[in-house]
């Protein structure tokens, strides 16, 4: 819900920073906005930030705890027929 309302109050071209990006629920929600609403990640915004390890053993993946995204300019609401699975 936070991302939905942030999208409504942040102007086009604005910046949104997510915390707890390692959490599956946050990753899924953000992926939806990337795939369907044109959010673009600012890749090195938190390059030296805290990493969180997902999984255990050799298969564990280290992901950043925070991520930054630029909203599209202008903001748009695509029709349901253009929905892309995420």
Lowest mean pLDDT among 1-5, 20-24, 25-29: 20-24
The DSSP secondary structure of the chain, one letter per residue, reads -HHHHHHHHSPTT-EEEES-TTSHHHHHHHHHHHHHH--EE-TTTTTTS-EEEESSGGG-EEEES-EEEEPPSS-----GGG----
Residue pLDDT, tens place only, 23-76: 889 989 999 999 999 999 998 887 777 788 887 788 888 888 899 999 998 877
Residue pLDDT, tens place only, 56-68: 788 888 888 899 9
pTM metric for this prediction: 0.77
């Amino acid at each position: 819900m936070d991302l939905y309302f942030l999208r409504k109050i942040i102007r086009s071209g604005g910046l949104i920073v997510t915390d707890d990006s390692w959490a599956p629920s946050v990753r899924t929600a953000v992926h939806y906005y990337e795939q369907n609403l044109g959010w673009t990640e600012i890749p090195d915004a938190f390059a030296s930030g805290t990493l969180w390890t997902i999984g255990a053993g050799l298969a564990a993946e280290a992901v950043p705890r925070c991520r930054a995204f630029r909203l599209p300019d202008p903001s748009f609401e695509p029709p349901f027929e253009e929905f892309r699975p995420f």
